[in-house]
Chain A
Amino acid sequence: MAAFSAVKIPPPQFTTVRSSSQRPGSSPAHFAHSPSAFNSISFGSAKSVRSRPLFAVSSDVVSSDKTKPASSSASNPAVTREVALELYEDMVLGRAFEDMCAQMYYRGKMFGFVHLYNGQEAVSTGFIKLLNQSDKVVSTYRDHVHALSKGVPSREVMAELFGKATGCCRGQGGSMHMFSAAHNVLGGFAFIGEGIPVATGAAFSAKYHHEVLKQSKPEGLDVTLAFFGDGTCNNGQFFECLNMAQLWKLPIIFVVENNLWAIGMSHLRATSDPEIWKKGPAFGMPGVHVDGMDVLKVREVAQEAIARARRGEGPTLVECETYRFRGHSLADPDELRKPDEKAHYAARDPIIALKKYIIEHGLASESELKSIDKKIDDVVEDAVEFADSSPLPPRTQLLENVFADPKGFGIGPDGKYRCEDPLFTQGTAQV
């Protein structure tokens, strides 16, 4: 492995003033009686806060050429066979599922705005496969594969895409809103940046449970992952949450899936400083850049970031350099990206890279990998059949879940609950 030193992310050297002149309530005083309970930051003596050094860790990819992902020597694989196969299977599932989505869309089974994840599988697999069931994932509209990696069954995701009642959100969310309470997937956000504050709140909740309610787990705090893209990093909500997360040392990891394009806007032309990882240290947290086309590198960075969060050391900003092989959505003709850029990243296909790695290190044979491919094909086919044969949601579901109390629409002029009045769904005010 080259100069990548993800395993050695030291905590940022704070030089904050710890005196009575500190504003009351600026530290998370609602938790702590002693800061040492969750603060491993060393506080220096009173010094100007401005002299805080720029701190980040970056992989060799930042400065070096974009060559094929480096692999360690053939005699020393970075992962065990079980892990390698798990990663491979998860990435293949993500790819096969998305390809099937495209097929179903063009056949008219799926509708609306569908955004596919092809090419970015290493990020989802690299991070989410390290999580426990109680860890949380918050995503964007490109969320099918995040949900799958977290454990939501393919059947439920496919049924949701078809708009059926057996979908994970009972058909009400669709492609862009995958939620699962059982697997702690907090959505699915059509609006960029909207999920980040939600993830920040979820991380606060996890910390509160651990620190105050003392519902601690042996492995440490529950971690929240917030996934979002490069375009979102120019949005106010992102910066607000970086501040809050670091201020309160929340167990959250901000994962930037930098695929260089926001529909048709190139990241390089929309951002004053395109190196997103630098924004972490500006707020006092480590910022890491990683090759998002290499699942093993992503996993290594993720391991350290998650361990930090579990220990209570606070947030990390991870920028994954990745690429989407398809257009922004299935309605996007994708005319703006240059063919050589696409070819460059297609050559770094994460699945092909992992397959090569597995075979080179003798972790599995080609036929074993092929049988995984076949198994996944069957899973996806089964998901489609399930979704196809599932019923559409009943019409009564239209009024459900607007409020907690379905009778929350109040009482109509005839004295009955409005939601029970058949005219109510006809949209006419009482005449």
Chain B
Amino acid sequence: MAMALRKIGKDGISIWRRGFSSTSGLESSSSRDATPVNLFTAINQALHIALDSDPRSYVFGEDVSFGGVFRCTTGLAERFGRQRVFNTPLCEQGIAGFAIGLAALGNRAIAEIQFADYIFPAFDQLVNEAAKFRYRSGNEFNCGGLTIRSPYGAVGHGGHYHSQSPEAFFCHVPGLKVVIPRSPYQAKGLLLASIRDPNPVVFFEPKWLYRLAVEEVPDADYMLPLSQAEVIREGKDITLVGWGAQLSILEQACEDAEKEGISCELIDLRTLIPWDKETVEASVSKTGRLLVSHEAPVTGGFGAEISASIIERCFLRLEAPVARVCGLDTPFPLVYEPFYMPTKNKILDAIKLTVNY
């Protein structure tokens, strides 16, 4: 599953560089300073930049001060001090509510929930408080400075409580944004954009890729736009939509499908809500077929929303029903993880079935 060094695809990516980036004066993007780093290092860089550029930003969570269990927060406490980077006790509900309070007073609160599986005690605060703060106070207050970062997704041996993908629960809450990067370069840009976005954002990081994904990432401060999907591979027979770690599996399926003469268009949604319906719609208008794939269980997963919306918009254009290749409707299993997961072969089968419908 190791992803090789990937060239930064310049097509379709708009890179928003801040005026005081460290590579000032260089107009050509190909000569910017960049180093190959993995996902947790990219996220670490983003956090360093975020704390550096705003003195009222804070990073906190369980075990963050020594660097975190995934090393995403290394060096922050030493550099910015323990009043800005600190450990919390083991109370997710408290962490989320506390972060909302900080954000409500104009601070940037970057809270870490150690595993997305543990986010459920915080779910109440996020759904009932964070999402509704601006709305019910009539814009007197808002918690836009809130960013919740959490590792999500399967990791091969995680079992029930270290592998869940809860993004669909948060996608059902108007007022929250949900962002999921697929690679180190995307992660740094999207995280900085999420932190600086004036809305509360839940940022899920695919833990499988923390060490495995390596990519050239610019050392500078840069942001990637939210609510913009990215077409990472062009094709004409079928549109594949995914996010996070699942994209690398979808990509492998694309390669295999190519050998059988099926040309696949691959889209990374990047922001799950509010999601970029136009890009997906344009793609499906071109190909006439759609397949969505995610690790979370199929029933009620976010693929259902994508499917319903696209059918509304592209009904007459569709050549086949929208296919969803997702996790099974069981709790995330322990030994059965390979059977549960939406693997490349399952996706390939679904591609063929859809194309030959």
Chains A and B form a bound pair? yes
Which of A's residues lie within 8 Å of B, judged by CB? 111-113, 163, 171-174, 176-177, 190-193, 231-232, 234-236, 262-265, 269-271, 336, 392-393, 395, 397-399, 402, 409, 424-429, 431
Please report the C-alpha to C-alpha distance between residue A191 and residue B326 in the assembled complex, in whole angstroms.
25
Instruction: From the candidates B87, B117, B335, name the one contacting A393 in the complex (CB within 8 A).
Output: B335
Q: Which residues of B contact A262 (CB under 8 A)?
A: 62-63, 90
> Are A398 and B87 in touch, CB under 8 angstroms?
no
Instruction: From the candidates B63, B94, B333, B357, name the one contacting A398 in the complex (CB within 8 A).
Output: B333
In the complex, what residue of chain B is closest to A395 when comparing beta carbons?
B339
> Are A190 and B66 in touch, CB under 8 angstroms?
no
Chain B 122-138 interface mask (CB, 8 Å, partner A; 1/0):
00000000000000000
Instruction: From the candidates A193, A235, A265, A427, name the one contacting B325 in the complex (CB within 8 A).
Output: A427
Nearest chain B CB to A159's CB is how many angstroms away? 12
> Are A269 and B328 in touch, CB under 8 angstroms?
no
**Interface membership of B160, Cβ < 8 A:** yes
> Are B69 and A263 in touch, CB under 8 angstroms?
yes
Please report the C-alpha to C-alpha distance between residue A269 and residue B77 in the assembled complex, in whole angstroms.
15
> Are B90 and A232 in touch, CB under 8 angstroms?
yes
Q: Which residues of B contact A174 (CB under 8 A)?
A: 159, 334-335
Q: Which residues of A contact B341 (CB under 8 A)?
A: 427
- In the complex, besides A262-B62, A265-B87, A398-B333, 12 extra interface pairs with C-beta distance below 8 angstroms are A112-B157, A113-B157, A191-B161, A234-B91, A236-B121, A262-B90, A271-B89, A399-B328, A399-B330, A427-B341, A428-B353, A429-B325
In the complex, what residue of chain B is closest to A162 when comparing beta carbons?
B335
19 contacts between A and B (CB under 8 A): A113-B162, A171-B335, A190-B117, A193-B90, A234-B89, A262-B62, A263-B69, A264-B63, A395-B336, A398-B336, A399-B330, A426-B349, A427-B342, A427-B346, A429-B298, A429-B325, A431-B321, A431-B350, A431-B354
Nearest chain B CB to A78's CB is how many angstroms away? 36
Q: Which residues of B contact A425 (CB under 8 A)?
A: 328, 339
Nearest chain B CB to A240's CB is how many angstroms away? 11
Nearest chain A CB to B48's CB is how many angstroms away? 20
Nearest chain A CB to B288's CB is how many angstroms away? 15
Given contacts A190-B159, A190-B160, contact A427 B328 (CB under 8 A): yes
Given contacts A112-B158, A172-B333, A402-B331, contact A264 B66 (CB under 8 A): yes
> Are B323 and A111 in touch, CB under 8 angstroms?
no
In the complex, what residue of chain B is closest to A392 when comparing beta carbons?
B335
What 8 A-B pairs come out closest when comparing CB atoms?
Answer: A234-B89, A190-B161, A163-B335, A231-B90, A112-B157, A174-B334, A270-B89, A111-B157
Chain B 141-184 interface mask (CB, 8 Å, partner A; 1/0):
00000000000000001111110000000000000000000000
Q: Which residues of A contact B339 (CB under 8 A)?
A: 395, 398, 425
**Interface membership of B327, Cβ < 8 A:** yes
> Are A172 and B335 in touch, CB under 8 angstroms?
yes
Nearest chain A CB to B157's CB is how many angstroms away? 4
Nearest chain B CB to A94's CB is how many angstroms away? 23
Q: Which residues of B contact A173 (CB under 8 A)?
A: 334
> Are B324 and A429 in touch, CB under 8 angstroms?
yes
Nearest chain B CB to A207's CB is how many angstroms away? 27
Nearest chain A CB to B305's CB is how many angstroms away? 14
Instruction: From the candidates B66, B327, B346, name the one contacting A336 in the complex (CB within 8 A).
Output: B66
Q: Which residues of A contact B161 (CB under 8 A)?
A: 176, 190-191
**Interface membership of B329, Cβ < 8 A:** yes
Chain B 173-217 interface mask (CB, 8 Å, partner A; 1/0):
000000000000000000000000000000000000000000000
Nearest chain B CB to A279's CB is how many angstroms away? 13
Please report the C-alpha to C-alpha distance between residue A192 and residue B353 in the assembled complex, in whole angstroms.
44
> Are A427 and B326 in touch, CB under 8 angstroms?
yes
> Are B117 and A191 in touch, CB under 8 angstroms?
yes
Q: Which of A111, A265, A427 has the most CB of B within 10 A?
A: A427
Please report the C-alpha to C-alpha distance between residue A235 and residue B323 in the assembled complex, in whole angstroms.
42
Instruction: From the candidates A171, A232, A428, A431, name the one contacting B334 in the complex (CB within 8 A).
Output: A171
In the complex, what residue of chain B is closest to A230 when comparing beta carbons?
B90
Q: Which residues of A contact B328 (CB under 8 A)?
A: 398-399, 424-425, 427
Q: Which residues of B contact A111 (CB under 8 A)?
A: 157
In the complex, what residue of chain A is closest to B82 when comparing beta carbons?
A269
Q: Which residues of B contact A113 (CB under 8 A)?
A: 157-159, 162
In the complex, what residue of chain A is closest to B324 when comparing beta carbons?
A429
> Are B159 and A112 in touch, CB under 8 angstroms?
yes
Instruction: From the candidates B325, B330, B349, name the one contacting A402 in the complex (CB within 8 A).
Output: B330
In the complex, what residue of chain B is closest to A418 when comparing beta carbons?
B329
Q: Which residues of A contact B323 (CB under 8 A)?
A: 428-429, 431
In the complex, what residue of chain A is closest to B87 when comparing beta carbons?
A265
> Are B330 and A398 in touch, CB under 8 angstroms?
yes
Which B residues from 72 to 110 make CB contacts under 8 A with A? Answer: 87-91, 93-94
Nearest chain B CB to A224's CB is how many angstroms away? 22
> Are B162 and A190 in touch, CB under 8 angstroms?
yes
**Interface membership of B340, Cβ < 8 A:** yes
Nearest chain B CB to A419's CB is how many angstroms away? 10
Please report the C-alpha to C-alpha distance between residue A111 and residue B93 in the assembled complex, in whole angstroms.
30
In the complex, what residue of chain A is closest to B336 when comparing beta carbons?
A398
Please report the C-alpha to C-alpha distance between residue A42 and residue B37 in the assembled complex, in whole angstroms.
67
Which B residues from 284 to 340 make CB contacts under 8 A with A? Answer: 298, 320-321, 323-331, 333-336, 339-340
> Are A177 and B160 in touch, CB under 8 angstroms?
yes
Q: Which residues of B contact A177 (CB under 8 A)?
A: 160
Q: Which residues of A contact B350 (CB under 8 A)?
A: 428, 431
Please report the C-alpha to C-alpha distance between residue A212 and residue B244 in the assembled complex, in whole angstroms.
54
Nearest chain B CB to A323's CB is how many angstroms away? 19
Please report the C-alpha to C-alpha distance between residue A166 and residue B324 in the assembled complex, in whole angstroms.
35
Please report the C-alpha to C-alpha distance between residue A192 and residue B115 in the assembled complex, in whole angstroms.
12
Please report the C-alpha to C-alpha distance between residue A336 and residue B63 in the assembled complex, in whole angstroms.
11
Q: Which residues of B contact A191 (CB under 8 A)?
A: 117-118, 161
Given contacts A336-B66, A431-B357, contact A426 B157 (CB under 8 A): no
> Are B94 and A231 in touch, CB under 8 angstroms?
no
In the complex, what residue of chain A is closest to B330 when comparing beta carbons?
A402
Q: Which residues of B contact A428 (CB under 8 A)?
A: 323-325, 346, 349-350, 353
Q: Which residues of A contact B334 (CB under 8 A)?
A: 112, 163, 171-174
In the complex, what residue of chain A is closest to B69 when comparing beta carbons?
A263
Please report the C-alpha to C-alpha distance between residue A314 and residue B357 in the assembled complex, in whole angstroms.
66
Please report the C-alpha to C-alpha distance between residue A269 and residue B161 in the assembled complex, in whole angstroms.
26
Q: Which residues of A contact B121 (CB under 8 A)?
A: 236
Q: Which residues of A contact B62 (CB under 8 A)?
A: 262-263, 265
Please report the C-alpha to C-alpha distance between residue A171 and residue B159 in the assembled complex, in whole angstroms.
11
> Are B346 and A426 in touch, CB under 8 angstroms?
yes
In the complex, what residue of chain B is closest to A173 when comparing beta carbons?
B334
In the complex, what residue of chain A is closest to B345 when comparing beta carbons?
A426
> Are A235 and B90 in touch, CB under 8 angstroms?
yes
Please report the C-alpha to C-alpha distance between residue A269 and residue B93 in the assembled complex, in whole angstroms.
19
Please report the C-alpha to C-alpha distance between residue A112 and residue B156 in the assembled complex, in whole angstroms.
8
Q: Which residues of A contact B93 (CB under 8 A)?
A: 236
Please report the C-alpha to C-alpha distance between residue A396 and residue B100 in the assembled complex, in whole angstroms.
45
Please report the C-alpha to C-alpha distance between residue A190 and residue B331 in the assembled complex, in whole angstroms.
14
Please report the C-alpha to C-alpha distance between residue A426 and residue B293 in the assembled complex, in whole angstroms.
13
Q: Which residues of B contact A263 (CB under 8 A)?
A: 62-63, 69
Instruction: From the candidates B88, B162, B298, B335, name the one contacting A427 in the complex (CB within 8 A).
Output: B298
